[in-house]
Amino acid sequence: MPLKASNPDSPPNERTLRARALRLLGRREYARREMAERLARWGATNEQAARVLDGLQADGLLSEQRYAESWIRTRLDRGDGPRRLRYALAQAGLDESLIEQALPENEDWAARLEATRRRHFGAPAPVDWPEWARQARYLERRGYSPELIRRRLPRPTMDSDPGDDVLE
């Protein structure tokens, strides 16, 4: 919930805005765009917000690199795949080169896909094609590419072929 300015007719001063921003940064990292939105909700003008954010960045207190690394670490633990990570960071206003730099270089996405599948669906492989499709849709929503899913998601056994229920 945003704090109210002491005088609602005038924008807060930069010192107050910086103090509020520092309180937020004490809890977690923020992207510049997120912090600018918070400052705007507190009544900061665009110029005030830019000066406060520039000062925080110059002092090393606001870092989009740290934000991206922290955010990715958290989402990897949840089982998110590379496509979802890239999209969400781009939505937060991060530059594409910064996103690529922050993503883990030697990440085994196939192992992460399998761990995510097992955590959500359990150890057994899909027993039929509808179940395979359900698991594939879930993994795609989590941010894994369809190619990786097709390569790594265990296929149902041959005795559960989708044509089995067709009468001859």
Find the range with the poorest average confidence among 7-11, 87-91, 146-150, 152-156.
7-11
Euclidean distance between CA atoms 156 and 18, whole angstroms: 57
Asked if residue 17 has pLDDT above 50, the reply is yes
Rounded-to-integer distance, Cα 76 and Cα 86, Å: 12
Asked whether residue 2 is assigned to any structural domain, the reply reads no
- Pick the residue with more confidence: 107 or 1? 107
Q: Which amino acid is at 14?
A: E
Rounded distance between C-alpha atoms, residue 144 and residue 123, angstroms: 19
Query: Each residue of 95-136: pLDDT tens digit?
Result: 999 999 999 989 999 999 999 999 999 999 999 999 999 999
Same domain, 97 and 78: yes
Question: pLDDT tens digit string along 24-77?
Answer: 999 999 999 999 999 999 999 999 999 999 999 999 999 999 999 999 999 998
Is 127 within the bounds of a domain?
Answer: yes
What is the radius of gyration, based on Cα positions, of the chain?
Answer: 23
Q: Domain limits at 98?
A: 64-102
52 and 84 inside one domain: no
For residue 143, what is the domain's CATH number? 1.10.10
Both 53 and 97 in a single domain? no
Residue 4: the pLDDT is 52
Provide the domain count of the chain.
Answer: 3
pLDDT for residue 159 is more than 90? no
Q: Does one domain contain both 80 and 116?
A: no
| 47 and 83 part of one domain | no
Residue 5 domain flag: no
